[in-house]
Structure 1
Amino acid sequence: MVYEKTTETRQAIIDACLRMNAEGINQGTSGNISVRVGEEMLITPSGIPYDQLTPKDIIRVRLESGQVRGLHKPSSEWRFHCDLLQARPDMQAVVHAHPVHCTALSMLRQPLPACHYMIGLFGGSDVPVAGYARYGSAALSEAVVAVMEDRHGCLMANHGATVLGEDLGKALWRLGELEILAQSYLAARAVGEVVLLSDQEMAEAIEAFKDYGPK
């Protein structure tokens, strides 16, 4: 039963990767996905095209020690996946990718402000930007974990975006919503000055999101 459940989760990760690329949220193998399984995480391997992945290619990483088990190297971003899941026991999945509009904002190093009530889906009145550090580095992990302390998503300076989810489906959904919000914000800003919601309006939206979705 444990083996069957793990195999099912491995296939769900592959399916989510394929969906990201099909929906234009990611390109190539630049994205990566992890899911908590007990004291470990399952994560995509480094550099293997998603359409070539099979369940046995997904890598196990021990959350506390970083010990790796699998046929391949884990994603180069395994460190911040591991550190996020340790720092946020309320979250079960991490999805990272390079959506075009999120990445454009990250290149400007500008947070996504309170331009729409759906910003509240990410736990605050904006979606912050984690400071730049080389991909795969401990410094990048520290920067991402710091801004995600009380958030469900962030932009990453000159890099892309990362989201958390109570499960893999919610994480993938949040990434899609984040990209749409970034696209809408940049489109509006190209036309004129964006009118932002007030702190009170955002506080109401954030509170409402606590009871959002199916029971």
Structure 2
Amino acid sequence: MTETDVTALREEMVATCRKMNESGINQGTAGNLSVRTGSGLLITPSSLAYDRMEPADIVEMDFDGSYSGRRPSSEWRFHRDILRARPDIDVVLHCHSVYATTLAVHHKTIPSFHYMTGVAGGTTIRCARYATFGTQALSDAALEALQDRLACLLGQHGQIALGKTLESALWLAIEVETLSRLYVQALTLGEPPILPDDEMERVLEQMRRMSYGLAPDADGVNDVARPKA
């Protein structure tokens, strides 16, 4: 990655952080963001509000934990560990969005009450066990909850969303918050019905096909929209 690439990435990270606040999923100095680079990662600094953050404030960190510049986010361990363990993703976004955190304080996993639960890569969005912020124990809990998933809740803490790009990670974090809000509201009427695993497998296959630009109807049961010749 060239110096020009790193500079552009820093600028995009700051813009994404500000979008986190604008979207309502983050506030103050809560939350953090990291992006894989060739030899390590870029990560947001500790205790700096996003509206005051500049590209030069983004911290360069190696996978051994060494860094240059400002002090990195207190959650650098799970950012480092997730990026190291998950070569399929390049971005880790963490925030304390209100409804996701509401579920997290009750250690509730989000079940397949709605088919869009599948956007996180499985039939549920798990809630990781509680561990003190900034610790290896929290990183280990997050990695466990993220097994085969792109998002999870953190017990009595917040949420994590992963992506190949900053845009996709932000989109997923907002979607997790939307699903969390829907689930909290659905629970006021009682436990909602849950889609069975076989239906969620069909949903996940449809989502996989669409992510590759294919028609979503894998079985040919319905007419498939197609461009005119």
TM-score range normalised by the length of the shorter chain: over 0.9
**1:36: which partner in 2?**
36
- Is 1:150 the counterpart of 2:151 in the alignment? no
AA aligned opposite 2:83:
L
1:40-55 aligned within 5 A: 40-55=40-55
Q: What letter corresponds to residue 53 of structure 2 in structure 1?
A: L
Matched, 1:5 2:11: no
RMSD, aligned α-carbons: 1.2
- The runs of 5 or more residues in structure 2 that have no matched partner are 214-229
Deviation of residue 192 (structure 1)? 2.9
Residue ranges of structure 1 left out of the alignment (5+ in a row): none
Larger radius of gyration, structure 1 or 2? 2
Q: Deviations over 1:110-142 (max 9, x none)?
A: 100001111111111100011111100010001
* Distance in 1, Cα, partners of 2:76 & 2:143: 13
1:26 aligns with 2:23: no
1:76 alignment partner, SS class: coil
1:67 corresponding residue in structure 2: 66
Aligned-pair identity (%): 42
Give the distance between the partners of 2:210 and 2:67, measured in 1 at CA.
36
Shift of 1:171: 0.6
Q: Structure 2: how far apart are the matches of 1:210 and 1:154?
A: 19
CA–CA separation in structure 1 for the residues paired with 2:147 and 2:82 = 9
Deviation at 1:213, TM superposition (A): 4.0
| Structure 2 residue aligned with 1:200 | 198
Amino acid at match of 1:58: I
- 1:69 maps to a residue whose letter is S
Q: What residue number does 1:93 align with?
A: 91
1:214 offset after TM fit, Å? 7.0
Residue equivalent to 1:169:
167
Q: Deviations over 1:73-130 (max 9, x none)?
A: 0000010000000000010000000000000000010100001111111111100011
Per the normalisation by structure 1, the TM-score is 0.96
Pick the aligned partner of 1:209 from 207, 210, 213.
207
Cα separation, 2, equivalents of 1:169 and 1:213: 15
For 1:101 and 1:43, locate their aligned partners in 2 and report how far apart those are by CA, in whole Å: 25
Task: Report how many aligned residue pairs link the two structures.
Answer: 213
Whole-angstrom CA distance in 2 between matches of 1:13 and 1:213: 24
